[in-house]
Amino acid sequence: MHVAAIIAAGGRGQRLGAGRPKQFLEIGGESILDLSLRALAASDRIDEMVVALPRDYVAATSKSWEGKSAKPLVFVDGGERRQDSVARAFDKTSPGADIIVIHDAARPFVTGDIIARAIDAAVVHGAAIAAIPVTDTVKQIGETPVGGSRRIRATIARDTIVLAQTPQAFRRDVLERAIAEGLKLEATDEAMLAERLGLPVHIVDGDVKNIKVTTPEDLAEARRRSEGEGSSPRLTRIGTGYDLHRLVAGRPLILAGVRIPFDLGLDGHSDADIVCHAVTDAVLGAAAAGDIGRLFPDTDPKWKDADSIALLASAVERIAALGYRVSNVDVTVIAQQPKLLPHLDAMRDNLAAALQVGRQAVSVKGKTNEGVDGTGRGEAMACHAVALLATA
């Protein structure tokens, strides 16, 4: 069974009054949209994802997710209404998708269990939504009369009322009919459209923690939950990096972007700057954002003799898009010759500029290998690096 997920994120979230769409506001260092996408991507029941976004956010968001999803991920322009966004995303799902899951990006705390329950119920019944019971007494009220007073029309039995959430899941044929119905009328969700067609929509257990961020109070509550008891707040991330290159004649010796006078240089496809390479891997590793070999492969002529300081700066931009900034780095260069002490401050300055931090956040140390192995015999140089990231 093939399952496609549609993430509805085409709105502007104006009720939040944040000056930008609410799905791009951060909770615990990640955007609300990214949290929702990660939750769906983590489900072993989801095979592909299509995200509907405001038109002017599609290109940048798509670029920020390049290489980050193991599952097919497509971004499309959203429509004026939620149902229009869903319809456009539906057109980009695989024709062979048996079940379509629809989830509001504004619900960043959805769990794999809720997703699985909705899918299983849709397989059996055709359509299903997550929902939670009402615990308060429910009153139906009339329109506001002159004078502002509102009267109760009826008390509704609360065991007949639920509060709808997402995800909502549909067999493909059911959702296709619901989307066609949406061309004729307004609806707050696809379940309502299915109901209008007389199609059965079943309920599965939602979760009170699966809140929707709509108001400033919702956002504050979501941030409290992300940092509260039982959660895993993303405050700091640690990564390590290592690089080694042979010393050869006819090459310049470049370390942390500093050209160091020496009769030998490091052999490599780029400028072979082992310091930048180790720091780049440490920064990318801390954010789980790949490594220098995958992003800048030595099989690509584009990176021939590349400036490794520039590659490091590019890696910093990549982790910034994931909501992280560099806190500090610690570097150890292993070289028998030449002496690095006269060049350490310049190396620190170059690294600090690329990492977008102050010099005090960068440590560079030189060590020898006491004549042991290839580095100790002066045949190679190596570098170890540790990077600490913090949420931006």
Name the nearest CA neighbour of 33 among 58, 2, 14, 15: 58
Q: Give all domains of the chain, ordered by start, each with its CATH number.
A: 3-227 (3.90.550.10), 236-391 (3.30.1330.50)
Average pLDDT of 66-73? 88
Tokens of 365: 């140390």
Q: Determine how β-strand 236-248 pairs with β-strand 253-255.
A: unpaired
* Model confidence band, residue 233 (pLDDT cutoffs 50, 70, 90): very low
State residue 277 phi and psi, 5-degree precision: -65, -45
* Alpha carbon distances (Å) from 286 to 96, 118, 257, 279: 37, 34, 22, 11
State residue 16 phi and psi, 5-degree precision: -80, -25
DSSP codes, 21-41: -GGGSEETTEEHHHHHHHHHH
pLDDT, tens digit, for every residue of 298-357?
Answer: 788 888 878 999 999 999 998 887 778 899 999 999 999 999 999 999 999 999 999 999
Which residues lie below 8 Å from residue 211, measured CB to CB, with a gap of 6+?
A: 107, 109, 218, 221, 222, 225
Peptide bond into 95 cis (omega under 30): no
pLDDT, tens digit, for every residue of 15-60?
Answer: 565 567 889 888 877 889 999 999 999 999 999 999 999 999 999 9
pLDDT, residue 144, reads 66
CB 127 within 8 A of CB 201: yes
Q: How many CB atoms lie within 10 A of CB 242?
A: 14
Q: How many CB atoms lie within 10 A of CB 82?
A: 22
Whether 91 has a pLDDT exceeding 80, the answer reads yes
pLDDT, residue 229, reads 41
CB 13 within 8 A of CB 106: yes
Q: Residue 199 has what DSSP assignment?
A: -
Average pLDDT of 223-237? 62
Cα-trace Rg, the chain: 27
pLDDT, residue 313, reads 93
Average pLDDT, the chain: 89
Peptide bond into 145 cis (omega under 30): no
Number of H helices, E strands in the chain: 12, 18
Helices (H), the chain: 32-42, 58-64, 82-91, 112-125, 172-182, 190-196, 216-227, 274-286, 292-295, 308-321, 344-355, 373-376
Q: Which of 120-124, 216-220, 368-372 has the highest mean pLDDT?
A: 120-124
pLDDT, residue 5, reads 97
Which residues lie below 8 Å from residue 292, measured CB to CB, with a gap of 6+?
A: 277, 280, 281, 284, 311, 315
Residue predicted with more confidence, 321 or 208: 208
Q: How far apart are CA 57 and CA 25, in angstroms?
A: 13
pLDDT, tens digit, for every residue of 284-313?
Answer: 999 888 898 888 887 888 888 789 999 999
The CA-based angle 327-237-51, given to 5 degrees, is: 110
Q: Residue 73 has what DSSP assignment?
A: E
CB 355 within 8 A of CB 324: no
Whether 230 has a pLDDT exceeding 50, the answer reads no
